[in-house]
Amino acid sequence: MSVVNHRCAVLGKPIAHSLSPVLHNAAYHALGLDDWAYDRHEVGEDDLDGFLHGLDPSWVGLSLTMP
């Protein structure tokens, strides 16, 4: 397993239904971007500021969704 240097995610509430991680990670794999990962995080409106302030430099992209 490679070290993840580039992190991305989709944020929303609820978020468990999102297929974005599956699609993005398949694309990263197909393109040989082994140090990239895309995840989902359940973050509501009231939690967004705290989440954003907790990100480190490995975070390179976020998407927002709504139900």
Per-residue pLDDT tens, the chain, 67 aa: give them.
Answer: 579 999 999 999 999 999 999 999 999 999 999 999 999 999 999 999 999 999 999 999 999 998 6
Distances (CA, A) of 2 to 5, 26, 35, 57: 9, 15, 6, 18
What's residue 60's pLDDT?
A: 98
- Nearest CA-CA partner of 12 in 51, 50, 41, 47: 41
What's the domain range around 29?
6-64
What's residue 66's pLDDT?
A: 80
- For residue 1, is it within any domain? no
- For residue 34, is it within any domain? yes
- For residue 18, is it within any domain? yes
Question: For position 60, which CATH number holds?
Answer: 3.40.50.10860
What's residue 2's pLDDT?
A: 74
- For residue 56, is it within any domain? yes
What's residue 11's pLDDT?
A: 98
- For residue 26, is it within any domain? yes
- For residue 31, is it within any domain? yes
Alpha helix positions (H), 1-67: 20-30, 48-53
Domain count, the chain: 1
